Amino acid sequence: MSKGYNLEDHGHTSQEIYDSYVKTADALADLAGKVIAITGTSTGSLGYYIAEAAVRKRAKLVLLLNRESERSKTAEEAVRKVIPEGQDTTVRTVHVDLQSLESVKRAAEEVKKLASENNGLDGESYSI
């Protein structure tokens, strides 16, 4: 199994990723009332910073899809801290192991249920 992508090995820092990808969130439309699902959102990942951007753009529900881990818990807590006081945004982790079809099926059902309770998952995709 491969070691995976490592920021330090590639000469990047989390701040550089944020600066190069997510500061462009200012160009994104307002996400008020939208339900957003993002995979790979553990701390320091691109998905994590996109989740932060979705919160800042006032998404109604931000679903963080990750394997169950301490990094996943830390990411959810950190993204919640970005929610401005008085803003009605919910951040929730959906555990999924993308190497397990059964896990993916369970996660898909959970995302479907949560999204349906909030007027559906918004299907627009954004290219950064």
List of E strands, the chain: 35-39, 61-66, 90-95
| pLDDT score, position 45 | 83
Separation of alpha carbons 42 and 1, rounded Å: 19
Kindly state the tokens that stand for 1.
């199994």
Model pTM? 0.78
- Tell me: domain 13-116, CATH 3.40.50.720, correct? yes
Question: Would you state the torsion angle of the CA atoms of residues 105, 109, 115, 121, taken in this order, to the nearest 10 degrees?
Answer: 30
| pLDDT score, position 78 | 94
Over residues 71-128, the pLDDT tens digits come to: 999 999 999 999 999 999 999 999 999 999 999 999 999 999 999 998 888 765 444 3
Give me the residue spans of the domains in the chain: 13-116
Check residues 44 and 93 and name the one with the higher pLDDT: 93
Contacts of 93 (CB under 8 A, 6+ apart): 63, 64, 65, 66, 72, 73, 75, 76
